[in-house]
Chains A and B, each alone.
Chain A
Amino acid sequence: DTEVTQTPKHLVMGMTNKKSLKCEQHMGHRAMYWYKQKAKKPPELMFVYSYEKLSINESVPSRFSPECPNSSLLNLHLHALQPEDSALYLCASSQVGGAADAFFGQGTRLTVV
């Protein structure tokens, strides 16, 4: 199984809503990532978890709150987002050590209205 599964695939939320994005992998990877991607731009790193501990926060606003409840799951909790937060949110996972090829999910297309 080389899949990273993200749910939902599409999400429309109001600026006062609270929602969560979910990411799951069963490859035994111990590093998991959240990226944000705007149209026609490269992915921008938001967070990295290594062994279920947050190792990188790229100065992301606190309205984005990551959570890694176990080695297979990664969540991104969203609250009070702005329209400019509308983007494709990609989850990825990799081994820790060695080549560390990152495997990506299909993303969640988020629209904030």
Chain B
Amino acid sequence: AQTVTQSQPEMSVQEAETVTLSCTYDTSESNYYLFWYKQPPSRQMILVIRQEAYKQQNATENRFSVNFQKAAKSFSLKISDSQLGDTAMYFCAFMNPSGTYKYIFGTGTRLKVLA
């Protein structure tokens, strides 16, 4: 069975600084997707970034980038130039596309951006 672990329950960062959120996962599958979702107080889960396991290149979306280490089963999220609007709960998620499309979420990291 797949598992996703986020070992940082809470983090804070100064506005305009850079922060990295950690995620590790365990799977025996070779084909899968990894995601970071953001859930602000408005409670809607918003997709931040996606990484395909078959791609060696790390995904980037504007200020958000990942460090995907497949052998180490590590998938960290770097937020550059942090903004107050980045304050949210961040969930790492794993999905195996071969069959059930079941997303498995980590326990989340609460990020607070300080002015």
Contacts and interface: CB of A to CB of B under 8 A. Distances in A.
Contacts of A55: 100
B47 A99 contact: no
Contact of A102 (B43, B44, B47, B52): B47
B97 A98 contact: yes
Interface residues of A, number: 28
Interface residues of B, number: 24
Interface stretch (B13-21, B71-79, B80-88, B102-110): B102-110
Nearest to A104: B45
B95 interface: yes
B112 interface: no
Given A42-B107, A106-B44, A107-B44, A56 B91 contact: no
Given A56-B100, A56-B102, A100 B33 contact: yes
Contacts of B100: 48, 55-56
Interface stretch (A14-22, A68-76, A77-85, A87-95): A87-95
A82 to B, nearest CB: 22
Contact of A99 (B33, B45, B106, B110): B33
B95 A100 contact: yes
B42 interface: yes
11 contacts: A42-B106, A92-B45, A96-B101, A97-B97, A99-B33, A99-B97, A102-B35, A103-B47, A104-B46, A107-B44, A109-B43
Interface of B: 33, 35, 37, 42-47, 50, 52, 89, 91, 95, 97, 100-103, 105-108, 110
